[in-house]
Structure 1
Amino acid sequence: MEQKFCQSCGMPLTYKNKGMNADGSRNKDYCMYCYKDGKFTQDFSMNQMIEFCAQFTDQMNKEAGWNLTPEQAKEQMRKFFPHLKRWKQKDERSLVEKATALLAQCEEVTLASINADGFPRPVPMAKGHTTGCNEVWMATGTDSMKVADFTINPKAGLCYSSHGDSVALRGIVKIVSDDKVRKEMWQDWYINHFPGGPSDPNYVLLHFVGTEATIWINREFAHKQL
């Protein structure tokens, strides 16, 4: 019998590991890790899928009797994956639309301010609400170094990435302390940092809007004005 492979990740496909359609039947093309309840489990680009699968190179070597390095495994997947059903279908979204989807995947971004000595100070931050690919809200303390930096200089950099795809933005940060906006942007987990809730005096918002972007998605590169 001809060996079948998941048409998303390339895993050898068996009856037991087939994905599930919306009606509960087994899907004939995709594995259970890529496809569930009639839809893909992850909104990956082909490049992201390759980077994700490369994490399991040791397991692949063991099961197939190979001796590949992660880079060699990636190179093989770059040749094989374009022939799989999922990646044969052209993604008609614009690069900005793909960047918007990438930002939606990410839980964390890196925000860079300029400190008093003129040096960039990048810090990882939990992502709050977002709009498009270039507008991000974040919560921080009024006494934080970030607030001190942005009070003097609002210029900022922000980047986000997932499994090999990335976006780097240049823009401006506004410090927002308006009570109405603080309440609108409040997320339940903020209570761990601001026990006073949306009215906590130490709770303030950083509103980043990017005007320029460097985008690398699915091995496609571009500089864009937004």
Structure 2
Amino acid sequence: MTQTSTDSVKKIASLINGVKFAMLTVQTEKGHLHGHPMTTQDVEFDGDIWFIGGKDTAQVAAMRLHPQVNVSYSHPDKGVYVSVNGTAQLVEDRAKLDELWSDFYKAYFPQGKEDPNIQLIHIAANGAEYWESDGKVRSLISLAKGLIKGEQPHQGENETIKL
């Protein structure tokens, strides 16, 4: 299947829409991979991913050294799993902060949007891989049928795309 870049972005956007939390994986100073749970933004994916983080956190320090990151999304009830690789940029942009801000963040930044520790994280996606199955029950049925018949079960759609 050949997809245009626009089609690929739309596909990823449809898969990650509504996923509340993602895992942001960074490379530490020592070269280890470390994942951090991050709250996703209520903005449609357009090839860019935005997070709000803290300037004093380990993941922000790691992105300063190694901007290549990975963001993983999962919605197991729907059988959707997405992995997006990209390049992180630490951004200071008041208008973007205003756009992304919700009172939820006051739990992390007690001073609100004026908190000097706020760091916008912009990730420009380079590519993604996704797996979209038929859901847990259908996948188990397909797996069982495959085992009984000795056939390879249909486990959904798996694609790797460049963005």
Residue 180 of structure 1 is matched in structure 2 by: 95
What's the CA shift string for 1:47-105, capped at 9, x where partnerless? xxxxxxxxxxxxxxxxxxxxxxxxxxxxxxxxxxxxxxxxxxxxxxx665343122112
Which has the greater radius of gyration?
A: 1
Unaligned runs of 5+ in 2: 1-6, 134-155
Alpha-carbon RMSD: 1.8
Report the counterpart of residue 24 of structure 2 in structure 1. Answer: 111
Tell me, in whole angstroms, the C-alpha distance in 2 between the residues paired with 1:216 and 1:95: 13
Q: What one-letter code is carried by the residue in structure 2 that aligns with 1:224?
A: I
What are the residue-to-residue correspondences of 1:145-156 with 2, within 5 Å?
145-156=58-69
SS class of match (1:166): strand
Name which of 15, 33, 49 aligns with 1:136: 49
Distance 2:18 2:44 in 1: 13
Q: Percent identity?
A: 27
With normalisation by structure 2, the TM-score equals 0.74
Higher relative contact order (CA 8 A, sep 6+): 2
Query: Which contiguous aligned blocks of 4+ residues in structure 1 show a shift greater than 3 angstroms?
Result: 94-98
Is the Cα contact below 8 Å between 2:8 and 2:161 reproduced in 1? no
For residues 165 and 212 of structure 1, the distance between their equivalents in structure 2, rounded to whole angstroms, comes to: 17
- Measured in 1, the distance between the counterparts of 2:33 and 2:127 equals 17
- With normalisation by structure 1, the TM-score equals 0.54
Structure 1 distance, partners of 2:157, 2:9, is 12
Aligned to 2:14: 101
1:128-165 CA-to-partner distances (Å, cap 9, x unmatched) read: 24333642211111100011001111110111011221
Which amino acid counterpart does residue 131 of structure 2 have in structure 1?
W
